[in-house]
């Protein structure tokens, strides 16, 4: 394994170059055609057989080892977000209104590095390694489900994924067994009132007032209807209504997200939301529509594979038990089918000013996190193919 880890150090500058190129050329979910072509081109250049357009813009390639051990799949996501990059660095996004604001460019560059190293050291592998580059993680229904449907997990025994995470400092890695990341659901509420003149409110049914009541009333779900020992989030992320200063709006639209870890709680929150929306609108004499979309399920890590993380990860970096993460991830679908775990590698660095959260227009990473992530992937593969049984 030592030769593989040394190769990571040697390849690190090239990984930085790939990441910065991708950062300059981001593509939104389901539109990652040029990104996929870039990834496939490098994999083919290194002599790998590559499947393209797997479930969409997904890429799958297999590194065949010399041994007869288990097959391990590693996953990276490729899509960017509809955010304007406000950084002033040389590698800032060149695409107006689109940005890699969650680190997927670095995930892709990291896995490219691992693929190149493994290809050059096939003799060190006691089994095969599948590298999977996934499209559309940021937008439900996501790319994982469709890639699995088209055979991405065929002949795969274990699955591992890594997310670079700026809230954690560079040089650290985090994981936990069982539920780790939340189910991520979406909702849209449309309040249908009666518009009119701003000076004659008594002749209207004010959708903005009703929508404002809903923003407050929905917060009582977590504070008064959910067991305080159970993690839960109900967030209204957008409230749109009105066209003028003297016009009472006829309609208001609220959209947001619900985050839970428990299926029973997930269903209960949905029922309570609809009850609150219906009764609040009825009290004010308004109609409504309520659309609730189930998003990604919770990420649930296998206990044995999480133990492997703490054993194998400790060989290459500082490892810690993670808290629950309320963000969602469609890596959950892979874990429904195969043993594995999802891991976080710290990418924050206050001394470098890398402090902005994910999905922020000034988001950036400490790029040494890619080196850490590559080393963690290699250590996990090595441990799995040397000690398959937990």
Give the pLDDT confidence score for residue 66 in this predicted structure.
Answer: 86
With b for 16 or more beta-carbon neighbours within 10 A and e for fewer, the 35-49 pattern comes to bbebbbebbeebebe
pLDDT number for residue 264: 96
Whether 27 is a known active-site residue: answer no
% the chain with pLDDT above 70: 99
pLDDT at 79 over 60: yes
Q: What is the mean pLDDT of residues 334-348?
A: 98
Q: Is 163 annotated as a binding residue?
A: yes
Over residues 188-246, the pLDDT tens digits come to 999 999 999 999 999 999 999 999 999 999 999 999 999 999 999 999 999 999 999 99
pLDDT beyond 90 at 306: yes
pLDDT at 37: 98
Per-residue pLDDT tens over the stretch 126-144: 999 999 999 999 999 999 9
List helix spans (H) across the chain.
2-24, 33-45, 104-120, 143-149, 207-220, 263-283, 303-313, 332-337, 368-386
Query: Percentage of the chain surpassing pLDDT 90?
Result: 98
- Over residues 11-60, the pLDDT tens digits come to 999 999 999 999 999 999 999 999 999 999 999 999 999 999 999 999 99
Rounded to an integer, the average pLDDT of 255-270 is 97
d(CA 288, CA 281): 7
In whole numbers, what is the pLDDT of the chain averaged over residues?
A: 97
Is 104 annotated in a binding site? The answer is yes
Instruction: Establish whether 383 is a catalytic residue.
Output: no
Cβ-count burial 183-197 (b if 16+ within 10 Å, e if not)? bbbebebbbebbbbe
- Check: CB of residue 84 under 8 Å from CB of residue 11: no
- Set out the domains of the chain in order of their start, with CATH numbers: 2-181+298-386 (3.40.630.10), 183-296 (3.30.70.360)
Set 77, 128, 137, 206: catalytic member:
137
Tokens for 198?
């701003």
Q: Is 356 annotated as a binding residue?
A: no
Query: How confident is the model at residue 390, as a pLDDT?
Result: 47
Task: Give per-residue pLDDT as tens, 358-385.
Answer: 999 999 999 999 999 999 999 999 999 9
> Average pLDDT, stretch 143-172?
98
| pLDDT value for 68 | 86
Amino acid 389: pLDDT: 54
Backbone phi and psi for residue 180, each to the nearest 5 degrees, phi listed first: -125, -50
pLDDT given at position 388:
61
- State the catalytic residue, choosing from 27, 77, 79, 157: 79
């Amino acid at each position: 394994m030592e030769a593989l880890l040394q190769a990571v150090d040697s390849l690190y500058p090239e990984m930085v170059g790939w990441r910065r190129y991708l950062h300059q050329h981001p593509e939104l979910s389901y539109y990652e055609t040029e990104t996929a072509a870039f990834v496939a081109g490098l994999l083919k250049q290194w002599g790998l057989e590559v499947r393209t357009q797997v479930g969409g813009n997904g890429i799958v390639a297999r590194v065949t080892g010399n041994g007869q051990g288990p097959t391990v799949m590693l996953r990276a996501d490729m899509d960017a977000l509809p955010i304007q990059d406000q950084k002033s660095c040389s590698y800032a996004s060149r695409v107006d209104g689109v940005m890699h604001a969650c680190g997927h460019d670095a995930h892709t560059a990291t896995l490219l590095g691992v693929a190149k190293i493994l290809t050059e050291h096939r003799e060190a592998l006691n089994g095969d390694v599948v590298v999977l580059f996934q499209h559309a993680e940021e937008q439900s229904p996501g790319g994982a489900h469709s890639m699995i449907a088209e055979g991405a997990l065929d002949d795969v025994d274990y699955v591992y994924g890594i997310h670079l995470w700026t809230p954690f400092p560079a040089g650290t890695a985090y994981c936990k067994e069982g539920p780790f990341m939340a189910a991520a659901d979406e909702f849209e509420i449309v309040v249908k009132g009666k518009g009119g003149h701003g000076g004659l409110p008594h002749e209207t049914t004010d959708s903005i007032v009703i929508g404002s009541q809903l923003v407050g009333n929905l917060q009582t779900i977590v504070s008064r209807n959910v067991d305080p020992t159970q993690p839960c989030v109900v967030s209204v992320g957008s409230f749109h209504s009105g066209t003028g200063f003297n016009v009472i709006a006829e309609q208001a639209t609220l959209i947001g997200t619900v985050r839970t870890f428990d299926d029973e709680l997930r269903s209960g929150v949905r029922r309570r939301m609809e009850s609150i929306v219906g009764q609040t609108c009825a009290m004010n004499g308004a109609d409504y529509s309520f659309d609730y979309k189930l998003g990604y399920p919770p990420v649930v890590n296998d206990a044995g594979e999480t133990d492997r993380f703490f054993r194998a990860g400790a060989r290459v970096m500082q490892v810690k038990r993670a808290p629950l993460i309320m963000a969602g991830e469609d890596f959950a679908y892979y874990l429904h089918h195969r043993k594995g775990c999802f891991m976080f590698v710290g990418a924050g660095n206050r001394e470098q000013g890398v402090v902005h959260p994910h999905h922020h227009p000034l988001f950036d990473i400490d790029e040494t996190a890619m080196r850490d992530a590559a080393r963690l992937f290699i250590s996990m593969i090595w441990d799995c193919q040397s000690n398959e049984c937990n």
